[in-house]
Amino acid sequence: MSLKQTVYFMALVGAIAGLTCWAVQSWIGDFVRIPQTQFTVLVTALMGALIAGMTVGFADRWTADRVVAKWVAVGVVLGALAGNAGGLLYLPILSGIMQSTTSGRVALLGRPMTWLIAGGLIGLVTGLRWFGVNRLRSVHAMLGGLIGGGLGGLLFTFLGSAEFFQALAFMLSGMGITLGVALAPVLLRSGVLQFISSADPRAQNKYGSPQQEWVVQEGDRFVIGNQGYERNMTIYARAVDIYIPDAMMVPWHAVLFASRKRFYIQQHGDNIGPQGQPLSPLQVNRVNVTSTRELRDGDEIVLGQTLLRFASRKQGAAALQMEGMLA
């Protein structure tokens, strides 16, 4: 899946999660009598569970071999806890701002503040799914959640009497969180790893059309390999970050990382035999990689039977600028 497609579908996932949450809370409100404070906590917990669970499930569907139920379940639980915490914060906001003040404008800020805090917390725990790759992903998701939740809260407060605007407010909150997960890394990307082709039909069918791209940004560390989900023993992460179903690759084949605006690839320790020789090929521009190799814009990488290409955003722009100066 290309970067544009990833951002589009992640935004769609957030919107669907928000819309589903609105539909469920509307149904609950019609048939069950719950005090407003408790109802707010229930709604924010539901929002967190839906957004976190759907975001993790969708991301794993397109970047791993399949959706892993335990990771989705952990996302649902963490999202529900974060949403519940955000809803509980509504109580002091209700008593300390909305009910105690005589200013109507100040009182109106109470609901957007609740949505903003809940959105930020839900985004934070959702981003923990990518904590092992880059800790900034949690920050991006939190910022997206703050923005989406704040916009949704404002819309709900000032235009919330109509069901259409209520639904739109929930959708905006969900989109803000999922876009924080997907869009921020794309905008801040320093490089892109592109799938070109593979002699293994499984890898070719999975990533060949549409052509898969993986974002690489400062601080990222990706383990590349063919380890399936069933061998992963972690609770909320993958031991392999870039999964390629190539029979000629080993479970943990190579490591791609970015440091100080430079990019490197190296053999994973599990791809090195007792005599120091690689168990499966790792080449850059047809040269065997035995230790650590710095990557440049346009470098072609061979892992097993799979060909990838690395594109550096900065180096590519510099090359185009140089060509323009020489022309």
- pLDDT for the residue numbered 319: 41
> What confidence tens digit (pLDDT) does each residue in 124-133 have?
888 887 777 7
pLDDT of 119 higher than 90? no
For 299-306, what is the mean pLDDT?
95
- pLDDT for the residue numbered 34: 78
- pLDDT for the residue numbered 246: 92
Residue 304: band (very low, low, confident or very high) from pLDDT cuts 50, 70, 90:
very high
- pLDDT for the residue numbered 320: 36
For 76-96, what is the mean pLDDT?
81
Contact 301, 310 (CB under 8 A): yes
- pLDDT for the residue numbered 231: 55
pLDDT of 318 higher than 50? no
Q: Which range among 5-19, 166-180, 210-224, 307-321 shows the weakest confidence by mean pLDDT?
A: 307-321
179 torsion bin: left (phi>0), alpha (psi -120 to 50), beta (else): alpha
pLDDT of 277 higher than 60? yes
> What confidence tens digit (pLDDT) does each residue in 242-268 have?
889 999 999 899 999 998 889 999 999
Query: Which candidate, 178, 174, 172, 181, places its Cα nearest to that of 154?
Result: 172
Residue 161: band (very low, low, confident or very high) from pLDDT cuts 50, 70, 90:
low
Please report, as a single letter, which amino acid is at residue 38: Q
Query: Which candidate, 171, 145, 160, 175, places its Cα nearest to that of 111?
Result: 160
- pLDDT for the residue numbered 176: 80
Q: What percent of the chain has pLDDT over 70?
A: 84
Residue 18 token pair:
């928000």
Residue 80 token pair:
């529900």
Query: Which candidate, 84, 121, 131, 83, places its Cα nearest to that of 236?
Result: 131
pLDDT of 122 higher than 80? yes
Residue 174: band (very low, low, confident or very high) from pLDDT cuts 50, 70, 90:
confident
Of residues 7 and 95, the one with the higher pLDDT is 7
- Taking the C-alpha atoms of residue 308 and residue 163, their distance in angstroms, rounded to an integer, is 48
Of residues 318 and 148, the one with the higher pLDDT is 148
For 117-137, what is the mean pLDDT?
81
Residue 327: band (very low, low, confident or very high) from pLDDT cuts 50, 70, 90:
very low
- pLDDT for the residue numbered 238: 64
For 35-39, what is the mean pLDDT?
77
Half-sphere exposure of 313 (CA within 13 A, CB side): 13
> What confidence tens digit (pLDDT) does each residue in 1-34 have?
667 777 888 888 888 988 998 888 888 877 777 7
**Most confident segment among 94-103, 199-208, 226-235:** 199-208
- pLDDT for the residue numbered 194: 94
pLDDT of 123 higher than 90? no
Which residues on neighbouring strands pair with residue 182, listed in sequence order? none
For 289-295, what is the mean pLDDT?
89
Residue 193: band (very low, low, confident or very high) from pLDDT cuts 50, 70, 90:
very high
- Taking the C-alpha atoms of residue 315 and residue 93, their distance in angstroms, rounded to an integer, is 49
Q: What percent of the chain has pLDDT over 90?
A: 20
In whole numbers, what is the pLDDT of the chain averaged over residues? 80
